[in-house]
Structure 1
């Protein structure tokens, strides 16, 4: 879909100086004409002034409109205040006065001025009402119809917008039909009635490229790309200077899996219109998937044409980034920081560049500058991992403290992240201390209690491990995960295996399809001497989850039953799936040593 255009390009927001000049000129003109009226009794009505303003089509004034009428002194004073306010950049005062006087005087010129000021200030409700009044007072003024069409489009009143767009077309104006179509598509308002209306307008006004282009957009939205393509090609023939048509044609060709034709078309159009940014940008985007080097050249040219366009600079920087051209990417990203555009993205990718160069502190500093948005979570993850891997735990501690202060609702999440980084960095004791501190602030956090239990288990603090899990079970007696974790741990204590069996059995009742719990059941049965029952559960668990720990358990059960080849196959399969497993080699070594010792004892 083509990027939405401003609904009424004739009245797009002008530069501030132009607005001030308009207001000043109008004020001087009004004063001059009022003075002339007093001396000569000439025509000084606002209608006459409005007729002097350019419009899409001038119409002859009616007899009654040619009669001069002057404003009351109160109205004149209010409008004078409005003009002075505009010169002083007090635009809200200017708008309020013009908007009020438009309603009071029912004067088309005042309504037109109120409309333009409201649109400049983006005061939508005032712009809509003023434009409605303007069209009521001057129904045959194409500019008024265009202004109202634009405001109705922005308000989402698309059926009404189409009515006034057609009125503008009939008056010779260039109605913003594409904007109405883009809005309808974007807001999913393209019901059958609106679709039919676009089709009718395209047929009624065959020479209007706007009406035809809008209908082509509607056809594309309806997945009728071939019909749309035929229509767009006809528009190109009728209006060769209309550049929206080749843009839409390129999109339609892509829809029809004819990317090569789309690229060829755009290459030709870029040669003919080298300064047209929209054409070159679409060409560059298509080239990204086909020829990254040529795409980079096109984006480089776009940046030359628009050196302060942050979107284009970022696009070119990312191409350099993805192709590891650090020296080319870095100044572009720094340029974004100078322009204060896409600053978070710039910091994120500058951090990535520093990371590629093993500049940990620089990378982390950039990642910390990324603000909430698309790259925020990834920046935190990457930056904190870098610091943890470098042993810079104090820096991480300060970073996470700031994050918890900035996002108090996510404090638990950031504590857990920091704890996990410490654990993976080989600092379980520091991780445990942090968990204790976290639970001081978040005593009700079940996730933190469970994490502390696992850390205590890792450090060999069996009693503390069990205490935490018992606490969780008191809060949630049917928590199968906690029940299974405690039961599995108790298997190692020969005196508590029956207790372990009870816990695991209850967990399995609650979660009969959980492979981890099924594995625990197989393991406790094995340790209780029920080998065949254990084998059944462990095969079931391994089928559900090809995990190296389950493979180690099943292999051991098969081994002690004398099924050596079957055990070796299970272990080898497990090592193939997880070559870094330490559990399987440990089980194999332990059983083989045990067997050797038993043989040696029997021989003696």
Structure 2
């Protein structure tokens, strides 16, 4: 679970505790006490004190604590109580931390660190009201601001506290300080840590609505909107803040991300450009803009941005990878290989080499691509799945369906919920004409991903093509188009369904729209047949004459007019 990126201020005494780190030993042992510092101590206790400090110096704080804490109790010496606390902390001994802190508080009621331990330990025991009482005592002696203390509390308390206890504690703090934004901020931090991001959002939105909240509240909100894919909610809530703060570039960058998620590409591009114009070294925004241009198919502009970034440390690998992608799209395969071979960062190395293998398949044949894939050494299952999927795709390109199926199945064994792999396997079954297995797998795909348009289309078009279950096919395809109304192949499926039912006017409307989006040979065949069925013979022939030459390898299309005329 991603967390809100809060900026926390942790004072030294608090960072020693950390409450969640009670079992961890600091790298450096706390400095010891000299025996002569303790007045009126009996010789036996003096010896035990010296022995304890010797054990601490040798790296055994637990044994040292067991010797020193009884001395602290016997002498009621505040320095020994503090020293015992340090040793218990160093040993990660929770009971000792609690005991020594309690003694320390008794002997020095103004000691903030001891009271801090009090409320954290009360939370550890699930005692919310006792924790609140200790917190209030702590606040009376704390040198920190309320804001800093609340932030520190959120960072420390959540680590070792059960969610219901932690949430109850921070809700009570919110009641104690309703006019302080940091109380809501701390509640949001805790909620997000406990995997309750919507509650975290509500807390932050409440703070931003009621109080004069600082930038970090809005920054945390933006991160949550992005992470939780609450795009519309984020755009609406943050709009006024963005308008009032046009030069808060960090927030402008986050808002641009939301715009991209909402497909508001022009607005996002303009916002990224303003960020870059104002901050020429805003390389992350430049990368985002380059990726956006790439997504929009503006390859030349994207290439310009990536070339700029390729000379910037920390951005070279990602830039070389996408420059390789662009060069491959431009059919400059040798240049693509040169860029991709420069990639060394683990985040991009495997993907770059899969693209190199794909280029080798194109230029040197299947064996060359497979051989290159076999030289790769995946470091985990996720990487192995990528390699297996690439092998399956390559085998499929050469109609070696048995090997493609075998590699998809190996990948699916490792990643049983991976949509592209499940979809690829289903398509292979179709090519193998194993229609019984195809239908079973396609149904499973729809059941697993009921809102995935391509999954719905895979089953719907299968029914249309076989002219069976047409009512179910219409439901599947209409659902797919409701999710993505501009996906040309689904429009084609829906048009062909209307054709199968004899609704030629409806069919032509769907198919014409699909053809306007993508000049695809399958759509062209369906559109010509639909026009022919409506006695639009000349229009059908003209369409065939104009566009059939674009698809010389599609023999069905090349012979379509002869088929329709019965020649």
Q: Which residue of 2 aligns with 1:294?
A: 278
Taking the aligned partners of 2:115 and 2:372, their CA distance within structure 1 comes to 57
TM-score, normalised to structure 1's length?
Answer: 0.52
Question: In 1, distance between residues paired with 2:378 and 2:110?
Answer: 61
TM-score by length of 2: 0.55
Does the alignment pair 1:214 with 2:179?
no
Matched, 1:5 2:18: no
Q: Which structure: larger Rg?
A: 1
| CA distance 1:565–1:124, shift in 2 (3 Å) | farther
Q: Distance in 1 between matches of 2:425 and 2:244?
A: 61
Once residues 283 and 558 of structure 1 are traced to their aligned partners in structure 2, the CA distance between those partners, rounded to angstroms, is 51
Preserved CA contact (<8 Å) 1:98 1:110: no
- 1:223 pairs with 181, 199, 206, which one? 206
Is the CA contact 1:114–1:130 (under 8 Å) kept in the aligned structure 2?
A: yes
Instruction: Count the aligned residue pairs.
Output: 445
Structure-to-structure mapping, 1:287-436, within 5 angstroms: 290-296=274-280, 324=305, 326=307, 330-333=311-314, 347-349=317-319, 351-352=321-322, 360-361=336-337, 363-365=339-341, 369-371=345-347, 380-381=350-351, 383-391=353-361, 397=370, 400-401=373-374, 406-407=379-380, 414-421=387-394, 423=396, 427-429=397-399, 431-432=400-401, 434-435=403-404
Measured after TM superposition, the shift of residue 428 of structure 1 is 0.8
Is the contact made by 1:351 and 1:367 (CA closer than 8 Å) also made in structure 2?
Answer: yes
- 1:58 corresponds to which residue? none
Corresponding residue for residue 310 of structure 1? none
1:513 is aligned to: 475
Residue 31 of structure 1 pairs with residue 4 of structure 2? no
Residue segments in structure 2 that go unaligned for 5+ positions in a row: 18-25, 188-202, 223-236, 256-270, 292-303, 328-333, 417-421, 447-454, 478-488
In structure 2, what is the Cα distance between the partners aligned to 1:73 and 1:317? 67
Is 1:552–2:556 an aligned residue pair?
no
1:195 to 174, 178, 195: 174
The answer to whether residue 36 in structure 2 is matched with residue 84 in structure 1 is no
- 1:256-295 counterparts in 2 under 5 A? 257-259=240-242, 262=245, 290-295=274-279
Equivalent residues of 1:149, 1:164 under 8 A apart: yes
How far off is 1:82 after superposition? 3.1
Match of 2:114 in 1: 144
Range with bigger deviation, 245-254 or 323-332: 245-254
Q: 2: CA distance between counterparts of 1:198 and 1:397?
A: 64
Q: 1:226 to 1:587 in 2, by over 3 A?
A: same
1:179 matches 2:151: yes
Secondary structure at the aligned position of 2:211 is classed as helix
Q: Which runs of 5+ in 1 are unaligned?
A: 35-42, 46-68, 203-211, 233-244, 267-279, 300-313, 334-344, 458-464, 490-499, 526-531, 599-604
Q: CA deviation at 1:185?
A: 10
1:114, 1:410 → 2: CA distance?
50
Q: CA deviation at 1:561?
A: 5.6
Q: Which residue of 1 aligns with 2:61?
A: 94
**Structure 1 residue 72 displacement after superposition:** 2.3
Q: Return closer, same or farther for 1:355/1:112 CA change in 2, 3 Å cut-off.
A: farther
Contact 2:48 2:67 in 1 (8 A): no
Task: Single out whichever of 149-158 and 107-116 deviates more from structure 2.
Answer: 149-158
Q: Is the 8 A contact 2:82 2:104 kept in 1?
A: yes
CA distance in 2, matches of 1:151, 1:321: 50
CA distance in 2, matches of 1:262, 1:480: 46
**In angstroms, what is the RMSD of aligned CA positions?**
6.3
TM-aligned CA distance change 1:295 to 1:70, over 3 Å: farther
Matches within 5 A, 1:527-538: 535-536=502-503
Aligned partner of 2:225 in structure 1 is none
- Select between 512-521 and 135-144 the one with higher mean Cα deviation: 512-521
Contact 1:178 1:214 in 2 (8 A): yes
In the alignment, is residue 504 of structure 1 matched against residue 480 of structure 2? no
Change (3 A) 1:582 1:367: same
Distance apart, 1:388 and its partner CA? 0.8
Equivalent pair of 2:307/2:323 in contact (CA under 8 Å)? yes
